[in-house]
């Protein structure tokens, strides 16, 4: 499968998955609002998701794919199948152990994860129940990652990307069933999370079987490749844990705030993560791999050009997105979540957190560009140190800002931590001695910042006329928001064309043409 087709397949399905997740959040906020059940479900689901991201996402693929691919290429189909079967066997033992720990010690685990909730309260009891129901999703994530790795190795990219939709589809369906058999819709959603994970595993396992691999339990002595896989998985999880620890810190502190704070943080963070996730796909599939290849071939000039273009590309999208989310935080929050049980008072409480998160948007993407430079140079320590710095800043910032700004202060601390991480990595780039941010790129970044400032001014002027329509809510608010957003983007594009802000895109295109010519 060609790179373009692969990107289109994976990127398209991932886009559908993220949109469906967005629909899930909108439906959840409408039905559950921002009360006790919304808070405890958000906490329970986030707990399962943290462990999934820690083990079953990037670190799993990075550990399994090279081993399975090499075995398939060098030792043949049968040996690769045995390795996959042994990995499955030991994963079953691992996730069974995790499930037993969750069932037996879940009260103690949740007491540490959400120390701000009174263990004797009804809210804590619901958290325990929902957490136990959601926890098997962790096991499903491990098994789905294994089967997805097998399929990706044989160039079957569509089904692994599409199968992740099962979670959102089942949860959305559960939201509309309502509390027919359970105390709240939250319990229906928790069981839907369990079912969605199981369906995802079943679909992928069936596809693996159709591809000619019989991956089943294998209790024969562990092969050396399997030992290497688990060693890499643990080391990768430790590296990922630095960034996931930030999420845990946020939710630990949020548990001390009044009911609703967790929901406001959860919903607005997902809005903020939407552009980050989509742009992350573009970077990882289109721009960053060539950068890595340039460094490996010691083409320092090419690597520097790729990095500078990557930085400009990141700012081109995140600066206007940040301006829109900051200046229009309340109408955007209202348009997305302001319906059903998520009333105007909830919108007003959640909107400042969205603005606080949006302040860090450019930093998130800049950090992605800088980190890749270090990883490509086989330097994992510097990004790790940057992650540790961000955790420290996030923790201190959240503790300082939470008393006066509540959940908004925690969101703002997250953004400040992202900027500190980005600035640290930018400063440390000089130590590499091979790449740097050139003056032309700095000038173009300032150019983008300037026209983003003008864009912000245009929105503030239009808001003076649109505010009454925002207050009306419903279709009137949404139409006013669409009008203001459209005009502001038009202002950004016209100014960018006038001041030649987008000229770097021609350089990016020339690099693509050059790569195609080299292939020929």
Express each pLDDT in 361-404 by its tens digit: 999 888 878 877 777 676 777 888 888 899 899 999 999 999 99
* pLDDT attached to residue 336: 92
Express each pLDDT in 25-78 by its tens digit: 888 898 888 889 999 999 998 888 877 776 655 567 667 777 887 888 888 888
Find where tokens 């961000």 sit: 390
Structure tokens at 446: 């300032």
> Which of 150-159, 203-212, 325-334 is the most confident on average?
325-334
Sign of CA pseudo-dihedral 113, 116, 120, 123:
negative
Question: Would residue 443 count as lying in a domain?
Answer: no
* pLDDT attached to residue 181: 64
- Give CA–CA dist 158/11, Å, rounded: 10
Let me know if 112 is exposed, middle or buried by CB neighbors in 10 A (0-12, 13-18, 19+): exposed
Mean pLDDT of 287-300: 64
Mean pLDDT of 298-315: 80
**Cα 80 to Cα 17, 87, 153, distances in angstroms:** 30, 11, 11
Contact 371, 386 (CB under 8 A): yes
- Give CA–CA dist 389/434, Å, rounded: 24
Number of separate domains in the chain: 1
Record the pTM. 0.84
Mean pLDDT of 117-136: 92
Nearest Cα residue to 71 out of 208, 237, 228: 228
Question: Would residue 86 count as lying in a domain?
Answer: yes
**Cα 298 to Cα 271, 289, 304, 434, 435, distances in angstroms:** 39, 14, 11, 9, 11
* pLDDT attached to residue 193: 92
One-character DSSP codes across 254-313? HTTSPTTHHHHHHHHHHHHHHHHHHHHHHIIIIIHHHHHHHHHTT-HHHHHHHHHHHHHH
Computed over every residue of the chain, the mean pLDDT equals 84
Question: Would residue 301 count as lying in a domain?
Answer: no
Give the CA count within 13 Å in the CB-facing half-sphere of 389: 17
Question: Would residue 366 count as lying in a domain?
Answer: no
Express each pLDDT in 398-446 by its tens digit: 999 999 999 999 999 999 999 999 999 998 987 776 677 888 888 999 9
Structure tokens at 178: 């309502």
Instruction: For residue 52, give its domain range.
Output: 1-240
- Percentage of the chain modeled with pLDDT above 70: 85
- Give CA–CA dist 153/170, Å, rounded: 28
Q: Is the pLDDT of residue 494 over 80?
A: yes
pLDDT level of residue 510 (50, 70, 90 thresholds): low
* pLDDT attached to residue 260: 92
Structure tokens at 28: 């959840």
Question: Would residue 364 count as lying in a domain?
Answer: no
Find where tokens 């959840």 sit: 28
> Which of 131-135, 158-162, 295-299 is the most confident on average?
131-135
Q: Which residues contact 328 (CB under 8 A, 6 or more apart)?
A: 459, 463, 481, 484, 485
Question: Would residue 485 count as lying in a domain?
Answer: no
pLDDT level of residue 201 (50, 70, 90 thresholds): very high
Question: Would residue 247 count as lying in a domain?
Answer: no
- Cα Rg of the chain, angstroms: 24
- Give CA–CA dist 179/31, Å, rounded: 11
Check residue 51 and report its DSSP letter: H
* pLDDT attached to residue 240: 56
Question: Would residue 515 count as lying in a domain?
Answer: no
Mean pLDDT of 13-24: 80
What is the separation of C-alpha 237 from the centre of its chain, rounded to a whole number of angstroms? 16
One-character DSSP codes across 104-143? HHHHHHHHHHSTTS-TTSHHHHHHHHHHHHHTHHHHHHHH
């Amino acid at each position: 499968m060609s790179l373009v087709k692969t990107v289109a397949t994976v990127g398209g399905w991932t886009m559908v998955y993220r949109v469906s997740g967005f629909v899930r959040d909108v439906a959840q906020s409408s039905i559950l609002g921002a009360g006790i059940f919304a808070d405890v479900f958000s906490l329970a689901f986030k707990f399962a998701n943290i462990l999934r991201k820690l083990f079953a996402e990037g670190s799993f693929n990075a550990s399994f794919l090279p081993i399975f691919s090499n075995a398939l290429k060098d030792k043949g189909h049968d040996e690769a199948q045995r390795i996959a079967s042994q990995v499955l066997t030991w994963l079953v033992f691992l996730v069974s152990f995790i499930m037993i720990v969750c069932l037996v010690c879940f009260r103690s685990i949740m007491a540490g994860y959400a120390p701000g909730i009174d263990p004797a309260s009804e809210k804590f009891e619901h958290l325990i129940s929902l957490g136990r129901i959601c926890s098997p999703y962790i096991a499903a994530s491990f098994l789905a990652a294994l089967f997805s790795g097998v399929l990706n190795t044989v160039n079957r990219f569509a089904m692994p990307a599409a199968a992740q939709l099962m979670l959102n589809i089942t949860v959305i369906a559960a939201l509309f069933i309502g509390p027919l058999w359970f105390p709240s819709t939250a319990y229906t959603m928790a069981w839907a999370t369990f079912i969605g994970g199981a369906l995802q595993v079943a679909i992928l396992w069936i596809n693996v079987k159709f591809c000619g691999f019989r991956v089943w339990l294998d209790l024969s002595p562990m092969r050396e490749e399997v030992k290497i896989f688990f060693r890499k998985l643990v080391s990768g999880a430790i590296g990922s844990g630095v960034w996931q620890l930030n999420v845990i810190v946020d939710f630990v502190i949020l548990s001390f705030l009044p009911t609703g704070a967790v929901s406001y943080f959860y919903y607005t963070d997902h809005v903020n993560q939407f552009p980050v996730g989509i742009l992350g796909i573009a970077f990882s599939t289109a721009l960053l791999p060539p950068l890595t290849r340039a460094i490996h071939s010691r083409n320092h000039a090419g690597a520097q050009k790729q990095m500078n273009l990557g930085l400009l590309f990141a700012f081109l999208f995140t600066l206007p997105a940040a301006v829109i989310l900051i200046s229009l935080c309340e109408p955007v929050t209202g348009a997305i979540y302001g319906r059903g049980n998520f009333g105007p008072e909830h919108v007003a409480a959640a909107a400042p957190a969205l603005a606080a998160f949006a302040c860090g948007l450019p930093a998130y993407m800049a950090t992605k560009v800088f980190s890749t430079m270090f990883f490509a140079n086989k330097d994992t320590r510097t990004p790790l140190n940057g992650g540790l710095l961000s955790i420290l800043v996030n923790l201190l910032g959240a503790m300082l800002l939470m008393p006066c700004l509540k959940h908004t202060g925690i969101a703002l601390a997250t953004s400040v931590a992202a900027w500190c991480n980005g600035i640290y990595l930018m400063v440390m780039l000089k130590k590499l001695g091979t790449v740097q941010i050139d003056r032309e790129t700095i000038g173009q970044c300032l150019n983008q910042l300037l026209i983003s400032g003008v864009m912000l001014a245009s929105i503030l002027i239009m808001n003076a006329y649109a505010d009454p329509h925002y207050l009306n809510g419903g279709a009137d608010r949404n139409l006013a928001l669409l009008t203001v957003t459209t005009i502001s983007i038009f202002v950004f594009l016209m100014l960018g064309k006038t001041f030649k802000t987008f000229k770097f895109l021609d350089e990016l295109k020339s690099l693509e043409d050059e790569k195609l010519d080299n292939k020929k």
